[in-house]
Amino acid sequence: MAVVAGVVTDASGRVLIARRHAGTHQGGRWEFPGGKKRPGERSFDALVRELDEELGISVDAAQHLITVRHAYPDRTVDLEVWTVTRFRGTAFGRENQPLRWVAVEDLDASEFPDADRPVLRALGLPVLYLLSDAGRFGREEFLRRLEHTLAAGARLIQLREPGLAAADFRTYAREVVALCHQYGAQVLLNAPVEQVLECGADGIHLNGQRLGEMASRPLDLRYRVAASCHDVAQMERARRIGADFIVLSPVLATRSHPGALPLGWNRFRVLCAAAGLPVYALGGLRAEDLGSAQQAGARGIALLSGVWDAEEPESVIAGLV
């Protein structure tokens, strides 16, 4: 069953949810408004039609957020969720369904169908995932540069410093976490899981080796879990262990991995559609590639040199957030 749904937000950032009628599949649970696609219907067209029929609004623009395949005992659902970025009209329950506007942090996963739970984890992810580069600048200078990007709006950081010994990494991670938390930003450590807990970080980023060693989710749902992926097998493992999002690379050729074969946008689009998780594009990208990444199905882009090579990294951030 192919289904589309829309995440509609108001001026204060609250999202609109609707309650399914009793007697229907998953009746009584809350959901994001939407419905079944018609045969041959484009996803965006289906979204526009469904939100008009259910809410009485006219959708002008939307961005793909996530596609989830979930098997219930009686049916399998392919749920394609879009973030509605521009619409006209005032939403109301045209089918007499109850509606609520709810802050993202107040959404209760237990009140939603199981297929919606990856969607709930995806909400609130920013379009930029910023990777650290203290090895290039030195630890103190990088902290200074990082603070400028945080002040400009960076809110999701991966601390990956393979050149640091474990003890030095723990010390530095505590400094980075403390700084990021001052700005309301989250930090994921590309490090063993015990260091995440020791340093007060917000989650873990699994490189290919650590992802391959995981049989289950390494941290509970209070933390974010991300993974680096390059192919279908790694994406399937990330989905199986319950990762919150993945970074898919390399999209384009990169100086840091000159021997790696880039995916290209067409292959990246195919893999995004199969991921079942929010995807960040990485590899050879600049801020101006955000639109291409989102058109291919990504949540956003992960940047390293695309930020730190800039004369004013904070200007790059400000243009994305």
Strands (E), 57-207: 58-71, 76-88, 99-102, 128-131, 156-159, 186-189, 203-206
206: pLDDT strictly greater than 90: yes
User: What pLDDT, on a 0 to 100 scale, did the predictor assign at position 297?
Assistant: 86
* Mean pLDDT over each residue of the chain, to the nearest integer: 93
pLDDT value, residue 77: 84
Closest CA to 252 of 260, 242, 240: 260
CA distance 12 to 68: 27
**Above 90 in pLDDT, residue 241?**
yes
Q: Domains along the chain? A: 2-122 (3.90.79.10), 128-318 (3.20.20.70)
Helix (H, G, I), strand (E, B) or coil at 176: helix
The mean pLDDT of 261-275, rounded to a whole number, is 93
The share of the chain scoring above pLDDT 90, in percent, equals 78
pLDDT tens sequence across 125-174: 999 999 999 999 999 999 999 999 999 999 999 999 999 999 999 999 99
pTM score: 0.86
Percent of the chain at pLDDT > 70 equals: 99
Q: Quick one: DSSP state of residue 11?
A: T
Q: For residues 189 and 126, give the distance between their C-alpha atoms in angstroms, rounded to a whole number.
A: 17
Q: How far apart are CA 113 and CA 64, in angstroms?
A: 20
Averaged pLDDT, 49-72: 91
pLDDT score for 90 = 96
Q: Exposure string (b/e) for 264-301, b if CB count within 10 Å is 16 or more?
A: ebeebbebbeebbbbbbbbbbbebebbebbbebbbbbb
242 pLDDT higher than 80: yes
Backbone region of residue 289 per phi and psi (left: phi > 0; alpha: psi in -120 to 50; beta: other values):
alpha
pLDDT digits (tens, 9 = 90+) for 74-122: 888 888 999 999 999 999 999 999 999 999 989 988 899 888 888 888 8
Asked if residue 256 has pLDDT above 80, the reply is: no
Res. 205: pLDDT tops 90: yes
